[in-house]
Amino acid sequence: MSRPELQAPPEIYYGDIEAKKYTKNTRNQQIQADMTYRALELLNLPPDEPAFLLDIGCGSGLSGEILTEEGFIWAGVDIAPSMLEVALEREVEGDLFLQDIGQGFGFRPGSFDGAISISVLQWLLNAETSHPTSSPPHRLSRFFTTLHSALRNPSRAVFQFYPSSDDQIQLITSCALKAGFGGGLVVDYPNSNKAKKVFLCLFVGGGGQQVPKGLESEVEDDARARFERRRERVRSKDKSGKRKHMKDKDWILQKKELYRKRGKEGVPNDSKFTGRRRRPAF
């Protein structure tokens, strides 16, 4: 079967039906979870410190859910409106932006403490028109240059992607380095056709950062165990995303505190009436 990025542009390929089907597929959920946990390990953020992350190609929020569970505040960008609609229906905690990453970002310099991206970079390697500004090198250059500006110094960006050739890896890596990034390729399970995963680990600033080593063992029990714990957490929530054992007032206070941390305006003050049940209207 042809690779998805060869069939249609992402905003067309991931229409309403495909977006919902992708999100509900348990295998996709597991792969997304495993890759997100691994990307966070490579991001190597300081423990117990708040961080604002950018999820590039956030889709329906499968990776974003894990970022939230791990205690991060995040924003997500994606080019597929249907994917973002599913994310909104699922009430993910991140701020969502409809964005063609090949056109670059407009975030203020130093906005993010790090960035992750799961299964996205390969979509930038297909030119949609013959115009020079639509060529893969041009789109990659805009993408990496504006991303470099949006990240604080020092920080990291980690991309898991599916290259189809060494030439694609060379093109992506060279565009990233020209944009000012340091870093390089991390390959997990290089001797396994099934388990092999490719990551691009990029650095903003020096600080003695070194490219991490890829995983050699094919044993992925730890990642699967984390995914199973995540499934248990999902089952412990109701349709609104609230923990089933959590009282309404606690849930409301938690959401309001999260919005305040994000800098949202107009969040109501807490009071003795917060979360109070109203009498039914007759």
Confidence of residue 48 (pLDDT cuts 50, 70, 90): confident
| pLDDT of amino acid 221 | 53
**Which of 88-97, 140-149, 223-232, 266-275 has the weakest average pLDDT?**
223-232
- Please, which contacts does 81-84 make with residues 24 or more away whose CB atoms are closer than 8 Å? 81/11, 82/14, 82/15, 82/16, 82/18, 82/19, 83/14, 83/19, 83/22, 83/58, 83/59, 84/58, 84/60
62-97: per-residue pLDDT in tens? 999 999 999 999 999 999 999 999 999 999 999 999
d(CA 244, CA 213): 41
| pLDDT of amino acid 188 | 97
How is the beta sheet containing 52-56 ordered, strand by strand? 95-98, 73-78, 52-56, 112-118, 151-161, 197-204, 182-188
| pLDDT of amino acid 243 | 46
For tokens 């969502």, what's the residue? 96
Residue 203: phi and psi, rounded to 5, are -120, 140
| pLDDT of amino acid 244 | 46
Residue 233: phi and psi, rounded to 5, are -65, -40
d(CA 260, CA 29): 30
| pLDDT of amino acid 126 | 83
Roughly how many angstroms between the first and final C-alpha of the chain, as a whole number? 59
What's the average model confidence in pLDDT over 191-216? 92
Confidence of residue 165 (pLDDT cuts 50, 70, 90): very high
Nearest Cα residue to 56 out of 10, 120, 139, 150: 120
Nearest Cα residue to 102 out of 82, 129, 83, 75: 129
Fold of 4-235: Rossmann fold (3.40.50)
d(CA 57, CA 51): 19
d(CA 45, CA 172): 24
